Amino acid sequence: MAAASPTLNDDAAATLFAAGIAARFAGRRGADIFWTASQFDLYAPGLEQSGLKPAAILYAQGMKDSIVLAMAEDALRDGSFACVIAEVKAADQTATRRLQLAASDGSTPVLLYRRHRRLDRCPLSSLSSAMTRWRIGCTPSAPLPYPGVGRARWLVELVRQRNGNPFSLELEACDDTGRLALPAAAPDRAIATGRAAIQAA
């Protein structure tokens, strides 16, 4: 998974997207989340708005990407966490394969957040053993009939998946239970879903 651009808005959207997914895993399994990164920039109130309580996160900071990946692999093999999130700038195909095998061994889902290393290159363009690759970016929220800011909206793109086509959806950001929503009202949901952009692989 990666942010659509290196901007702060898209980076925050990708972080909260991961937090929402992790919150749902934590709620189902009744276990904590292991979150590892090389720089500490998580904002606890923001994570909580996406459903992930600060008390449910075990945070580990590594000095470099190789240490972050090693900690994520150990946490996955341990099997006691609801989900493992690792933030790195570089992870080759061997590293992602090791994470995939560890996730399988520990029956634990892993979210690898690929941070931007260069402005002109998407982190998802490098080789990876990931089952799916997601790109998350911000879009304008819907105007409200009164002064204020509406619920944040994201462009969520499934860039690649095994045995399936890529697609993109415009979704409303995670609520305090970690759930995403289609922007359209219930009667128009079929229309909103139909707007999903199906692209060739």
Asked whether residue 186 carries a pLDDT value surpassing 70, the answer given is: no
pLDDT value of position 196: 44
Question: What would the 3-class secondary structure string for 105-167 be?
Answer: HHCCCEEEEECCCCCCCCHHHCCCCCCEEEEEEEECCCCCCCCCCCCCEEEEEEEEECCECCE
pLDDT value of position 181: 87
> How many domains in the chain?
1
Range of the domain at 87: 2-198
pLDDT value of position 185: 56
Q: Are 72 and 99 in contact (CB under 8 A)?
A: yes
Could you tell me the pLDDT band of residue 59, with boundaries at 50, 70 and 90?
very high
- Pick from 61-65, 104-108, 140-144, 192-196 the range whose average pLDDT is largest: 61-65
pLDDT in tens, 17-52: 999 999 999 988 888 999 999 988 888 999 999 999
Could you tell me the pLDDT band of residue 1, with boundaries at 50, 70 and 90?
very high
Asked whether residue 53 carries a pLDDT value surpassing 50, the answer given is: yes
pLDDT value of position 184: 65
Asked whether residue 80 carries a pLDDT value surpassing 70, the answer given is: yes
Q: What percent of the chain stands above pLDDT 90? A: 54
Burial class (CB in 10 A: 0-12, 13-18, 19+), 77: middle
| CATH number of the domain where residue 117 is located | 3.40.50.300
What is the C-alpha radius of gyration for the chain, rounded to an integer number of angstroms?
17
